[in-house]
Structure 1
Amino acid sequence: MGRIIVEQHVTADGFAAGPNGELDWVDDSVSEPGPMVDQALAELEHTDAILLGANTYQLFIGYWPHATPQHDPLAEPINRLPKHIVSSTLSEAPWGHHAPATVETGDPRAIADRLKARYERDIILWGSLQLASALLDAGKVDQLRLRVAPVVLGRGTALWDAALMPRHLALSSATPLPTGQVTLIYDLA
């Protein structure tokens, strides 16, 4: 049975985006050869599928289907892996000249259960804050990977409303990177 992994860049004060959705604080090292990319490539070796919400899909198709391994080391696994887009508005989800993504409609909890039964290894959910929050709230997320940036915004968009869903997290690992970022991996209890 697969595991749903929510992976998100967050600031040191816990925001996943700036007050107007800005992501300009995310370090450029996420797509440059080095420790963060090495870490991501190692994690993608244990990944069977990518799960995205419709808004994150719209952001991703502007870059990933056209990225090449020569310019971005993550391009090959991201473009090769099956992608599932949770949306009530999309009828199709092309991915450039690669295999199209599958549009999933309906209750995100049921979608999560179906994908966990279909895949044996990890299903990574990137961005997609509404979807991540719904799955976290429903107890469908098995692991939380936070890429904590050494940035304080003071205000912005939180990963989820912790007041609605208190959770006990079991720290699996904490990996500091030379960029000042820290990757925190929590197993959800």
Structure 2
Amino acid sequence: MGKIVVSTNVSLDGVVQDPDGQEGFKLGGWFDQFTGEDRDAWAEILTDEALRAEALLLGRRSDEWFASRWLDRSGEWADKLNTMPKYVVSTTLEQPRWGAGAVLSGDVVAEVAKVKQEVEGEIVVYASYQLVRTLIEHGLVDELRLFVFPVVLGRGERLFDGIDDKLPLRLVGVRNIGVGLTFLNYEIAA
């Protein structure tokens, strides 16, 4: 059975909106602004994560975003991401844009639960925040890996916006990344 892992960048106050500044959010662009000299250490952790993963689970917009930025890259990290099977949740796509995989277009919860049964190992979710919230609400997420950036934005879409119930977590790891980032690793408590 697979393990669904949400891996994402967040501000200290949990904002995930517009990290690259391309969505027009007034406070967007915080990723580049606050990564600085920590980028190499951040990339090393994500490369290791990708090399261990068996598949990616994404929403349609995330699939498009990653395809536009990764398909022309090469190297160990890019090669793994570009060739890894992708499961894309969408009612409009026929094929994932970011390489090989399948589109999940029916009952999201049932289809993701089926993928979780069929895939052995880690199924990583990048971005795809609406999907993440649905998966959390239905008990399908096993682990959260949060790269916390040293900035408070005060407003914007937060990772856990709209979650209707408590989400008990168990801290399984914390480490400093470079001089400004913090990596928090939580398992979802039963």
TM-score (normalizing by structure 1)? 0.87
In 1, Cα distance between equivalents of 2:91 and 2:31: 29
Map of 1:25 onto structure 2: 30
Q: How far did 1:179 drift?
A: 3.9
In 2, Cα distance between equivalents of 1:160 and 1:10: 11
Q: How far did 1:162 drift?
A: 5.8
In 2, Cα distance between equivalents of 1:101 and 1:169: 31
Equivalent of 1:92 in 80, 90, 95: 95
Map of 1:54 onto structure 2: 60
Asked whether 1:82 is paired with 2:85, we answer yes
Unaligned runs of 5+ in 1: none
Aligned-residue Cα RMSD (Å) equals 2.2
In 1, Cα distance between equivalents of 2:82 and 2:27: 25
In 1, Cα distance between equivalents of 2:52 and 2:26: 30
> CA separation of 1:84/1:23 partners in 2, compared to 1, >3 Å: closer, same or farther?
farther
Contact 1:82 1:101 in 2 (8 A): yes
Q: How far did 1:108 drift?
A: 1.8
Contact 2:15 2:155 in 1 (8 A): yes
Map of 1:186 onto structure 2: 186
The alignment covers a number of residue pairs equal to 182
In 2, Cα distance between equivalents of 1:165 and 1:137: 8
> CA separation of 1:106/1:75 partners in 2, compared to 1, >3 Å: closer, same or farther?
same
TM-score (normalizing by structure 2)? 0.87
Contact 1:53 1:87 in 2 (8 A): yes
Cα deviations by residue, 1:35-81 (Å, 9 ceiling, x for unpaired): 21221122223210001001111211111111122xxx521111121
> CA separation of 1:138/1:52 partners in 2, compared to 1, >3 Å: closer, same or farther?
same
Q: How far did 1:172 drift?
A: 0.5
Unaligned runs of 5+ in 2: 19-23
User: Which of the pair is proportionally richer in helix?
Assistant: 2
The amino acid that maps onto 1:85 is: V
Map of 2:72 onto structure 1: 66
Q: Percent identity?
A: 32
